[in-house]
């Protein structure tokens, strides 16, 4: 381990000290006392002590705001874990042992450097919340379709161009965020997710919506701003449950009178770009 000084804000000034303190917390506190929760956030950790796998009664683990680039395979030993927060690290990947955490309900991986998701994720059958936002993911594995209890999926701010067919089986999803990706078309799998109430497709180079889009019978919040839509998609007028619609910063200039059919619509965002020369910046917001 090195002794590089970390940026201000971490609890410990060097990775060595962070490691020693984390290991002490794991062994002397969490393991000895059989604690249900452990917060190691903002320690400045570059490595996670492998003893973490001995915490077989732990239910909540917060490892956010560290400098972790990888996880030890021993992490798969946490047999009772329910919530795992790995956000704001430098993770390049996840070990296949992550699939051994079969009791997980909530997994947060936002703001890392992930390029893919391991296929072993299919074993997380009870997972209800999955946050993959702000990574470098180009593809989701087909095995994600096994997460049939999922209610919240955030894959925004990645490099996705398509979704695997297995997504169509995630029929309990209520909140779906796919904003700031590289979708040229709305993935066909989305229209099978008829329980979606909030859908974010903003900051994608979309130009049309599919004809079967009205299959989203429960959608209340729809974000299509900063896309390449040139005309108001007529299928939107069939979304009878819609309450908030954002089509700001698109090329749309005319709203059809049929929008009056949306009796539950409360907010309609129509703002246009103030600087037409900034059109290219619509497609992806700054990080």
**What confidence tens digit (pLDDT) does each residue in 175-208 have?**
999 999 999 999 999 999 999 999 999 999 999 9
CATH of segment(s) 15-282: 3.80.10.10
Return d(Cα 226, Cα 285) in angstroms, integer.
9
pLDDT tens-digit map of 102-128: 999 999 999 999 999 999 999 999 999
Sheet holding 175-177, edge to edge: 37-39, 60-62, 83-85, 106-108, 129-131, 152-154, 175-177, 198-200, 221-223, 244-246, 267-269
**What predicted TM-score, i.e. pTM, was given to this entire model?**
0.92
Whether the pLDDT of residue 238 is over 50: the answer is yes
- How much is the average pLDDT of 8-30? 93
Task: Give 107-134 as a 3 state SS string.
Answer: EECCCCCCCCCCHHHHHCCCCCEEECCC
Percent of the chain with pLDDT over 90: 90
Separation of alpha carbons 181 and 93, rounded Å: 19
Digit-coded pLDDT (tens) for 123-158 = 999 999 999 999 999 999 999 999 999 999 999 999
pLDDT digits (tens, 9 = 90+) for 242-270: 999 999 999 999 999 999 999 999 999 99
272: pLDDT confidence band, cut at 50, 70 and 90? confident
Residue 234 is predicted with a pLDDT of 96
What DSSP element (H or E) covers 19?
Answer: helix 15-24
The pLDDT value recorded for residue 281 is: 41
Cβ atoms of 190 and 176 within 8 Å: the answer is: yes
* Residue 9: per-residue pLDDT: 81
Q: Is 42 left (phi over 0), alpha (psi -120 to 50) or beta?
A: left
Cβ atoms of 70 and 93 closer than 8 Å = yes
- The answer to whether 171 and 192 have CB atoms below 8 angstroms apart is yes
Where do the domains of the chain lie?
Answer: 15-282
R_g over Cα of the chain: 21
Q: How many other β-carbons are positioned within 10 Å of the β-carbon of residue 208?
A: 16
Q: Please check the confidence at residue 287 and state whether its pLDDT lies above 60.
A: no
Bridge-based pairing of strands 175-177 and 129-131 is unpaired
Q: Over pLDDT 70: what percentage of the chain?
A: 92
Paired tokens of 221? 């919040």
Can you give the pLDDT at residue 6? 39
Q: Positive or negative CA dihedral for 189, 147, 144, 60? A: positive
Mean pLDDT of the chain: 93
Is pLDDT at 96 greater than 60 in this prediction? Answer: yes
Q: Tell me the DSSP string of 151-165.
A: -EEE--SS--S---G
């Amino acid at each position: 381990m090195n002794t590089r000084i970390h940026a201000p804000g971490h609890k410990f000034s060097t990775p060595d000290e962070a490691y020693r303190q984390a290991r002490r917390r794991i062994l002397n506190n969490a393991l000895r006392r059989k604690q249900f929760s452990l917060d190691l956030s903002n320690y400045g950790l570059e490595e996670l002590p492998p003893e973490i796998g001995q915490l077989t009664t732990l239910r909540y683990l917060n490892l956010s705001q560290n400098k972790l680039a990888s996880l030890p395979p021993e992490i798969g030993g946490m047999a009772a874990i329910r919530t795992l927060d790995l956000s704001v690290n430098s993770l390049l990947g996840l070990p296949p042992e992550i699939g051994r955490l079969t009791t997980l309900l909530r997994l947060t991986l936002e703001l890392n450097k992930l390029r893919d998701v391991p296929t072993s994720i299919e074993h997380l059958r009870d997972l209800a919340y999955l946050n993959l936002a702000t990574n470098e993911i180009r593809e989701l594995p087909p095995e994600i379709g096994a997460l049939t209890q999922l209610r919240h999926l955030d894959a925004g701010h990645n490099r996705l161009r398509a979704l695997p067919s297995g997504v169509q089986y995630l029929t309990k999803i209520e909140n779906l965020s796919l904003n700031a990706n590289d979708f040229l078309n709305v993935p066909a799998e989305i229209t099978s997710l008829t329980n979606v109430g909030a859908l974010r497709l903003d900051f994608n180079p979309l130009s049309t919506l599919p004809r079967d889009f009205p299959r989203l019978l429960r959608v209340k919040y729809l974000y299509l701003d900063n896309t390449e839509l040139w005309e108001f998609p007529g299928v939107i007028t069939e979304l009878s449950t819609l309450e908030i619609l954002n089509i700001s910063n698109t090329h749309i200039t005319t709203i059809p009178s049929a929008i009056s059919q949306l009796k539950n619509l409360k907010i309609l965002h129509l703002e246009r770009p103030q600087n037409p020369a900034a059109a290219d910046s619509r497609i992806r917001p700054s990080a």
